[in-house]
Structure 1
């Protein structure tokens, strides 16, 4: 078992130190004359120790196995699975439009199985974000992105432009967003990370700012009322 380490819970996004008390691992070795030889399925469970969360994750991997003071998995996994949660999708608040969240979550879910399908959903998600948040609606995604020029901060624009300039993703932002095109897994992953940044920087930051401003307004109003009461 690994030593203590810092871990971010995929459910509540809080960070905690994971110890041996919060983890469980098991190995199931088998052969049965399969075409690959001696194999092992390694399962790993982590429970988040935060009392307000207590969620858990389950991961599994298929490995080649060897006998050395008991069976052990060796090398890199032949296959791997995220059983709970099923993807690496980050949790986002429900004030973000549901269709956008659904496209993002599905894109994360199938990223490992089909990067090209994941990228297609991500392109649709990106278009949905631009249209909803900025009110920009054009026939092509690339035109909608270009219309953002001068409206967003330089670092966010650079991130969008950088992803747009990569391989097949950039080449097909000029086409129908529902067109499925071949992309490298790394390209699909970068597009997902871009969407996460935009959801954080635009929706969440705006919500937190408005919430903070409402608190300031409420505090000022309360103070004004108190002053009027004390000085009729």
Structure 2
């Protein structure tokens, strides 16, 4: 049996077969109030020869009695053990504070989507201040200051991150008003952060590298031309 898979360490896409995956089940009851359960563990090793990292995931599932054995029922809990979150590896040139907020937002996504949204908001604010070099104010004014610099749909999405992140960053005036943020919503905010990192930082870096390569190529060619020019000898 094989399945499509993307490595969380190197982003390599692969079809994983028996040579790269191992799994095991531990079934138990021991008189617990839920009945017979199964703890499943799965490891996958990346087939990319330049990576070879491995992942570990686990899930707790119900076991339903069928004759003559059991079948899997509902999944009660699941855990990412290695890596502990879905955070993508970021290049070293991304500012440390931005990387830390992003990674923590990913790490806490399942446990507390509201806290994850708050961290995504703080990560966004750090990116706006750093990349666009805006004067520190409140986030609403900082985002407003770059409205003419980004695409309208991107700007609207950025403002959504601010508004949803505000739910956790600032207490509501009416303490009885509870606005929930679910895991999928917080995940969308993280996805936008990843998109902006790609479009702002990584694209800029790649552009700078291409221009530097072209500059170096021009310098190398100038040197080659000078070396091929023969000196003129006067009789």
Give the TM-score of the pair, scaled to structure 1.
Answer: 0.88
5+ residue gaps, structure 2 = 172-178, 231-235
Distance in 1 between residues matched to 2:160 and 2:107, nearest whole Å:
24
Deviations 1:81-129 (CA, angstroms, capped at 9, x unpaired): 0011000001110110001100110110011001111111111111000
User: What is aligned with 1:7?
Assistant: 5
Deviations 1:179-222 (CA, angstroms, capped at 9, x unpaired): 36742222211111111111111110100110011001100111
Distance in 2 between residues matched to 1:35 and 1:95, nearest whole Å:
51
- Point out the more displaced range, 178-187 or 123-132: 178-187
Deviations 1:20-59 (CA, angstroms, capped at 9, x unpaired): 1111111111111111111111111111111111111111
Conserved? CA contact 1:136–1:147, under 8 Å: yes
Check if 1:217 corresponds to 2:215: yes
Check if 1:179 corresponds to 2:179: no
User: What is aligned with 1:74?
Assistant: 73
Deviations 1:149-180 (CA, angstroms, capped at 9, x unpaired): 1112345334324555xxx607x38xxx8436
Conserved? CA contact 1:9–1:15, under 8 Å: yes
Distance in 2 between residues matched to 1:131 and 1:208, nearest whole Å:
21
User: What is aligned with 1:191?
Assistant: 189
Distance in 1 between residues matched to 2:50 and 2:65, nearest whole Å:
41
Instruction: For residue 212 of structure 1, give the secondary structure of its aligned residue in structure 2.
Output: helix
User: What is aligned with 1:169?
Assistant: 164
Distance in 2 between residues matched to 1:70 and 1:55, nearest whole Å:
36
- Point out the more displaced range, 209-218 or 183-192: 183-192
Root-mean-square deviation (CA, aligned residues, Å) is 2.1
Correspondences of 1:1-232 after superposition (within 5 Å): 3-67=1-65, 71-75=70-74, 77-161=75-159, 163=161, 169=164, 172=166, 178-179=169-170, 182-232=180-230
Distance in 1 between residues matched to 2:222 and 2:119, nearest whole Å:
50
Displacement of 1:71 after TM fit? 4.5
Conserved? CA contact 2:117–2:161, under 8 Å: no
Distance in 1 between residues matched to 2:152 and 2:222, nearest whole Å:
40
Give the TM-score of the pair, scaled to structure 2.
Answer: 0.86
Distance in 2 between residues matched to 1:231 and 1:37, nearest whole Å:
88
